[in-house]
Amino acid sequence: AQKVTQAQTEISVVEKEDVTLDCVYETRDTTYYLFWYKQPPSGELVFLIRRNSFDEQNEISGRYSWNFQKSTSSFNFTITASQVVDSAVYFCALSRGFGAGGYNKLIFGAGTRLAVHP
Amino acid sequence: DGGITQSPKYLFRKEGQNVTLSCEQNLNHDAMYWYRQDPGQGLRLIYYSQIVNDFQKGDIAEGYSVSREKKESFPLTVTSAQKNPTAFYLCASTPGANEQFFGPGTRLTVL
């Protein structure tokens, strides 16, 4: 069975602080994909990143960075120097690899609500 | 502009009514999905379709129905059998490369 856990329900920080959102996943597949999505107050989900299970390199995109560690089944997301516009709900998700049953079905965590205060 | 559109943005349903939520995409994506989101929770898969004229049940399909007669369109009907339909509904599509692109959502409220 596949599962995604985001233990942090809500995080509140002051602008310019760094913040890390945790994501722990469970899967028996050897090939899988991990995702992060942002959901601003408007409701639409915005794709941030996809990582496949064979690529453990950390990724940095501007103020965003992701730390993928298969040994701990974690895919954590860090926002450096947070801004008010980062306030949103962030979802971590997992899908099976190509050829597996249920290909492309996303399993979502419950989300972490981030509030960045001026 | 390429993208996914959902209509209406807000929808109100009386008890016992069937309602249909629209989802259209002009991205030429093969696969389309419907998710339900309840307050404070993640998204749960209702139905998905990987090709025209074919669709599969997701994790919470009871009380819902779909059709996929055209590649661009994947409407969701919330039937009277769905006992607790008040939620935020999101449609998504993918070209097959795993990342899904989402529409703006429809907020359904039962009166």
* Average pLDDT of span A15-41: 94
Q: Give the pLDDT score at B46.
A: 96
How far A54 CA sits from the closest chain B CA (Å)? 15
Does B8 sit behind a cis peptide bond, omega within 30 degrees of 0 on the bond before it? yes
Q: Is B15 exposed, middle or buried (0-12, 13-18, 19+ CB in 10 A)?
A: exposed
**Which residues lie across from B42 on neighbouring strands?**
none
- Cβ separation A44–B44 shorter than 8 A: no
Start-to-end Cα distance in chain A: 41
Find tokens 């055209």 and name the residue: B70
Question: How high is the pLDDT of residue A100?
Answer: 56
- Partner B contacted by A95 (CB < 8 A): yes
Which of B11, B43, B48 is the best residue to mutate to test the A interface, defined by the most A CB atoms within 10 Å of its own CB?
Answer: B43
**pLDDT one-digit tens code per residue, B42-99:** 899 999 998 899 999 999 999 999 999 999 999 999 998 888 899 999 999 988 766 8
Question: How confident is the model over A47-104, as pLDDT tens digits?
Answer: 999 888 888 888 888 999 999 999 999 999 999 999 999 999 999 999 887 655 555 6
Q: Identify the pLDDT of residue A91.
A: 97
**Nearest Cα residue in chain B from A110:** B42
A48 touches chain B (CB under 8 A): no
